Amino acid sequence: MNNHNFATSDFPARILGWYDRHARILPWRKPAGETADAYHVWLSEIMLQQTTVATVGPYYRKFLQNWPTVQHLASAPLDDVLSAWAGLGYYARARNLHKCANAVCEKFGGDFPSTEVELLTLPGVGAYTAAAVAAIAFQQPAVVLDGNIERIVSRVFRFQGELPKGREALRELAGRLSPKDRPGDYAQALMDIGATVCTPKKPDCAECPVSIHCAAEAEGDAENYPRKAPKKVKPTRKAVIFWIEDQKGDVLMRRREESGLLGGMMEFPSTNWDDKPVANEELNDLMIRLGLPPGLARISGYPIVKHTFTHFHLQLSPVVIRLPDTIRVTSNEAKWTRPLDFNRIALPTLMKKVADTVLASQQLLPI
Ligand code: SF4
């Protein structure tokens, strides 16, 4: 552990000096020294969770074009927000984004609150986002700790705790380094240094402004930090997914429950995503739930659609049913959708993969 006295060191000044020279130009950024708009900071930070800067750029611009202020976003229909979000993944974030915009308008008169404590009361705003918005948009001396910053701090101190368990201890260490001046620039500087200099593999310590303060650089073992608890092996879940087409070529879809994975998004109906093989009764139960008579011809043999979520792998086996004109679907859940309209609805990436697989295979398999 590094016992260096950071309170009196030039650590923050070195970080800020580096930022003045090397800050990345990003669509949601203001130049060094200027304060960014809280709506812009919040929107970008929510989008950047689990997603790269390169992917977020076009989405961020599209959102600002559609909804230039938090008031515009709050009054947008949720479906429009979900559709604009499609492809960014983790759709709970999009639903919380909409909820949060409404909360800002209803509870705070349309202005984001400036303190971490108040920001934390907003839907979808966790410790990291609250600290980032407070620091970057309101110049509050908040301790911002994302993956990049964790890496730098754990290397500077050769922090022996394993993440995520040791995160609070690491936050305390990060707090020792944080300056009172320019907290927003300081946080963004660390994000940039983590992304471009103190990278997970082969950090460029020769270019690092704080190498003289870094214990891991002195020991030559930077890549060993941060120490992480061993990853659990992800289970693989399986299900059958139905592509039910009527004579016009419209496809049966339904909306997922609001809470949970892909909450509120449209999907093709499937059996439960389970570790066990799919039983025949389960297929029949699903048919009954959809208001379809048993015994309809099912065409299988389509390629399996594979997808990975944070906690598990998923394998979906598509089964196609083409309904004769004589059959009416009675379920209220069913929403008939033209494949041409898939781009306009909130269709998660997984369901796009299913649609692409079935549509691409239709030439090969009889339908
Ligand atoms: Fe990271 Fe190297 Fe800088 Fe230490 S000296 S913070 S390991 S880039």
For residue range 130-171, list pLDDT tens digits in order: 999 999 999 999 999 999 999 999 999 999 999 999 999 999
123 alpha carbon – ligand 1 mean position (Å): 35
- State residue 315's pLDDT score: 97
Strands (E), 107-209: 162-163
Classify residue 247 as exposed, middle or buried by CB count within 10 Å of its CB (0-12, 13-18, 19+). Answer: exposed
- State residue 2's pLDDT score: 56
Strands (E), the chain: 162-163, 227-228, 236-245, 251-255, 266-267, 305-308, 313-322, 335-337
Q: Which of these is catalytic: 45, 150, 217, 245?
A: 45
Query: What global pTM score does this model have?
Result: 0.74
Bridge partners, residue 335, by sequence = 253
Per the omega criterion (within 30 degrees of 0), is the bond before 293 cis? no
155 alpha carbon – ligand 1 mean position (Å): 7
**Share of residues in the chain with pLDDT > 70 (%):** 96
Chain mean position to CA 251: 28
Q: Is the pLDDT of residue 47 over 50?
A: yes
φ/ψ of 232, rounded to 5, equals -75, 145
Nearest atom, ligand 1, residue 214 CA: 4
200 alpha carbon – ligand 1 mean position (Å): 10
- State residue 367's pLDDT score: 45
Tell me what percent of the chain is helix, strand and coil, each rounded to the nearest 5.
45, 10, 45
Q: Encode pLDDT of 270-307 as tens digits.
A: 999 999 888 888 888 888 888 888 778 888 889 999 99
Q: Is the pLDDT of residue 363 over 80?
A: no
Q: Encode pLDDT of 321-346 as tens digits.
A: 998 887 777 777 788 999 999 888 87
Q: Is 172 a catalytic residue?
A: no
221: confidence class by pLDDT, cuts 50, 70, 90 = very high
- State residue 357's pLDDT score: 94
Q: Is the pLDDT of residue 85 over 80?
A: yes
Mutate to test the pocket of ligand 1, among 9, 198, 212 (most ligand atoms within 8 A of CB): 198
Token output for 296: 């309809």
